[in-house]
Structure 1
Amino acid sequence: MRPILRRSLLAAPALAAPARAQEAVDLLLVLAMDASGSIDEDEFRLQREGYADALAHPQVLAAIRSKRRGAVAIAILEWGSPGASAAIVDWRRVADAASAQALGEALLKAERSPQSYNAIGDALDHAGRLLRAAPFAADQQVIDLSGDGPDLRSLRRAPDVRDELVARGVVINALAIAASGMVTRFGERLEETYRREVIGGPGAFVATAEDRRDIARALRAKLVREIA
């Protein structure tokens, strides 16, 4: 019987390794930055610097520390071309000045992705897939989209994607970057277009920046509101 016992043991399937538990954070946040063709190199640099400065600002760090776990996870994507938005900084845990500074440095060093214009629906769809694949777990999930124009040629309409994500429990906020009084092709201010087509979920809101030099201030206030 011993040989039979040995053969049966050899034939037994190997036990699968236990799945690694996801680290819990207070918030999963995807920052979706406009990299479309309407943004020249100087504006693009101002936008990235504004994001990096806002992420490491003491007010934002204080908001993170005020939460139960004292940590959030952030991923950054650039959007523009239909179906071609690109994740430029993968998920990172941010809990203190050092981790926030590291995230900002990674953003500043990342190559600009090739984008045309202006597919917001596809950007939201990509952001939703990033949330599903996040290596962290959180009860709160937010997409934070910034842009200087309306959705023009998405493969998937922005309101349709927005509604799907909200049904999953995702909150979508927006930052409208536009000169004072600028109107879209719909005859309304950009923030109104974003309010109608982009944002959704409990407490969703649109913030405004008068130009890219105003991004750091507007985004800082927006992040504090989203986190705290």
Structure 2
Amino acid sequence: MRRRDMLGAALAMPALLRSVPARAAVPVDVELVLAVDVSRSVDPEEQEMQFSGYEAAFRDRRLIEGIMGGPLGAIAVTMFTWSDWQIQDTVVPWMLLDGAAGAHRFADAVARAPRRTWLYTSISGAMDFAARQFGQGFEGTRKVVDISGDGVNNSGRPVAEARAEALAQGIVLNGLAVLDRTPTPLSLASALPPLDTYYQQEVIGGPGAFLVVAEGFEAFEAAVRRKIIREIAAVPPAGPSTERFA
């Protein structure tokens, strides 16, 4: 190609790029971000209960029927683990779930996800990271963050700041508080509010936000199944603001 022709092609390139339409976001009923606590208070056995609980939930027939029963019959889901303010790790990228096959693929990905343990509990860091995950190829009628954990915020900025910013973006924050049966030192226990109260007052928020409480990690599977089924409902039921599973 002659120099003049090369120059003409280079000048025309921006116009060609502008003429290529951007890929449209896929419409879904819900964009759901699953945020899973892997701080040091969650031991390996308890962490496995969390992951197996999420896996079982997405294989559940009732959950699959809930996905397919929405106006669009599809949701988008991603999962990340979190701990310290700067530690968030996407373990399952965004996936489209529009039936049993998609739900089982997501469950398979959860089963293969790495298990890691870190130190602190930064709910604010989890909120900030979750809020940045939306708008990646999907457009949901609702944007929901599902935060599960067994402790209060002890790393990063105040939860109130992160919560306010997420709510301002139209994100609904739901919580799954796990009441760990591991004894808490008396010096700490007297200074901390009950975890379910903390999640109710400081973590959840947005239209229809609710909290599910698991009385120990043994109850996690039943709690998370119920929670996700309620989150993806076409018309979220006006259920109690707090549900408990023993």
User: TM-score by structure 1 length?
Assistant: 0.90
Deviation at 1:12, TM superposition (A): 4.0
Does the C-alpha gap of structure 1 residues 8 and 41 become closer, same or farther in structure 2, counting only changes over 3 Å?
A: closer
Counterpart in the other structure of 1:170? 171
Aligned-partner Cα distance in 2 for 1:6–1:152: 62
- In the alignment, residue 86 of structure 1 is paired with which amino acid? D
SS at match of 1:125: helix
Identity of aligned residues (%): 34
Aligned-partner Cα distance in 2 for 1:187–1:114: 23
Q: Match for 1:208 among 191, 201, 213?
A: 213
Deviation at 1:111, TM superposition (A): 1.3
Q: Match for 1:62 among 60, 65, 81?
A: 65
CA contact (8 A) 1:171 1:204 kept: yes
Deviation at 1:10, TM superposition (A): 4.1
SS at match of 2:78: strand
- In the alignment, residue 216 of structure 1 is paired with which amino acid? E
CA contact (8 A) 1:85 1:115 kept: no
Counterpart in the other structure of 2:158? 157
Deviation at 1:113, TM superposition (A): 3.7
- In the alignment, residue 31 of structure 2 is paired with which amino acid? L
Q: Indicate whether 1:89 and 2:92 are aligned.
A: yes
Gaps of 5+ in 1: none
CA contact (8 A) 2:180 2:217 kept: no
CA contact (8 A) 2:97 2:103 kept: yes
Aligned length, in residue pairs: 222
Does the C-alpha gap of structure 1 residues 175 and 67 become closer, same or farther in structure 2, counting only changes over 3 Å?
A: same
- Cα deviation 1:112-143 (Å, max 9, x = unaligned): 245211111001100111114x2111120000
Q: Which moved more, 1:214-223 or 1:186-195?
A: 186-195
CA contact (8 A) 1:86 1:113 kept: no
CA contact (8 A) 2:24 2:137 kept: no
Q: Indicate whether 1:73 and 2:76 are aligned.
A: yes
SS at match of 1:216: helix
Counterpart in the other structure of 1:131? 134
Does the C-alpha gap of structure 1 residues 10 and 225 become closer, same or farther in structure 2, counting only changes over 3 Å?
A: closer
SS at match of 1:130: coil
Q: Match for 2:101 among 98, 103, 119?
A: 98
Q: Indicate whether 1:191 and 2:196 are aligned.
A: yes
Does the C-alpha gap of structure 1 residues 158 and 185 become closer, same or farther in structure 2, counting only changes over 3 Å?
A: farther
Q: Match for 2:31 among 14, 24, 28?
A: 28
CA contact (8 A) 2:37 2:149 kept: yes
Aligned-partner Cα distance in 2 for 1:185–1:33: 26
CA contact (8 A) 1:50 1:213 kept: no
Deviation at 1:186, TM superposition (A): 4.6
- Cα deviation 1:67-104 (Å, max 9, x = unaligned): 11101000001011121111111000112122111111
Deviation at 1:214, TM superposition (A): 1.0
- In the alignment, residue 101 of structure 1 is paired with which amino acid? H
Gaps of 5+ in 2: 234-246
SS at match of 1:138: strand
Deviation at 1:8, TM superposition (A): 8.9
Counterpart in the other structure of 2:243? none
SS at match of 1:104: helix
Deviation at 1:23, TM superposition (A): 1.0
Counterpart in the other structure of 2:230? 225
Deviation at 1:187, TM superposition (A): 4.2
